């Protein structure tokens, strides 16, 4: 076999059988085992279990992404749809640094349905300065109030913006279906744009807090790809974008 043919086979394999996040294997194995038992009871139940197992495998996929690496680019941390863009908001109240902050941020909210990739990635290179976990409710993550009422995990980090440093935050928010947030980041950890830091199970939302004066380069309703879609540019002076469905 020549190298091109082998590369083509690998590309097909990666497309049909993407890498799986480690957090998914207990669920996949559990659903598969339950499917075997159900099929012994009734074939129809076994067929339903098979579809659920395939969906679970699909849910925990963790495909490779091609991440833009230019300094200043803020990349989407989640796969989903932009549900809200809220200017002039403070950082989440549980962050210590937020006590001295007023309405200095623009919050971009990305809603993830149960068919989106749920692995989360750092939106920009920097250093984690604070990590918090806030218990809360499990209202629909598509609602704006989910940012303040729902269970969530927040990361505050420091990034270089030219010669100066600035603060940003990313928040994983549980929804009415999602009841488990996994966040592997640590305080004082340095990271690159697009590096994985966690996953949310099963349907949720991720908020990104952009510094004041930085307009998002996305619009409400736009589909995002985690680790690839450019969400904002710290080096740009462009005004907020206007978009329409076509």
DSSP label of 150: B
Out of 76, 204, 219, 236, pick the active-site residue. 204
Half-sphere exposure of 107 (CA within 13 A, CB side): 22
Q: Which two tokens stand for residue 163?
A: 């010669």
Reference 186, options 127, 239, 229, 112; nearest CA is 127
CA dist 65 → 3, 23, 117, 221 (Å): 23, 19, 11, 22
Q: Which two tokens stand for residue 141?
A: 């993550």
Q: How many residues can be counted in the chain?
A: 246
Q: How far apart are CA 96 and CA 115, in angstroms?
A: 35
Q: How far apart are CA 90 and CA 221, in angstroms?
A: 23
- Is 39 catalytic? The answer is no
Q: How far apart are CA 198 and CA 182, in angstroms?
A: 5
100, 165 contact by CB (below 8 A): no
Q: In a 3-state reduction of DSSP, which class is residue 85?
A: strand
DSSP label of 96: G
Residues annotated as catalytic are: 204
């Amino acid at each position: 076999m020549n190298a091109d043919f082998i590369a083509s086979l690998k590309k097909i394999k990666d497309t049909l059988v993407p890498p799986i996040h480690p957090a998914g294997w207990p669920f996949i194995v559990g659903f598969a085992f339950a499917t075997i038992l159900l099929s012994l009871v009734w074939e129809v139940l076994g067929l339903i279990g098979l579809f659920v197992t395939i969906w679970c495998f699909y849910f925990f996929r963790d495909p490779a992404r091609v991440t833009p690496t230019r300094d200043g680019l803020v990349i989407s941390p989640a796969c989903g749809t932009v549900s809200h863009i809220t200017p002039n908001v403070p950082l989440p109240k549980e962050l210590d640094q937020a006590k001295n902050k007023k309405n200095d941020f623009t919050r971009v909210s990305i809603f993830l349905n149960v068919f989106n990739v749920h692995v989360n990635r750092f939106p920009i290179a920097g250093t984690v300065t604070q990590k918090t976990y806030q218990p809360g409710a499990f209202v629909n993550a598509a609602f704006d109030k989910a940012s303040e009422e729902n269970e969530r995990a927040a990361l505050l980090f420091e990034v270089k913006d030219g010669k100066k440093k600035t603060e940003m935050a990313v928040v994983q928010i549980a929804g009415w279906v999602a009841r488990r947030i996994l966040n592997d980041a640590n305080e004082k950890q340095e990271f690159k744009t697009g590096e994985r830091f966690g996953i949310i199970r099963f349907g949720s939302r991720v908020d990104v807090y952009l510094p004041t004066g930085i307009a998002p380069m996305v619009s409400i309703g736009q589909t995002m790809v985690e680790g690839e879609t450019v969400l904002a540019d710290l080096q740009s002076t462009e005004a907020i974008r206007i978009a329409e469905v076509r």
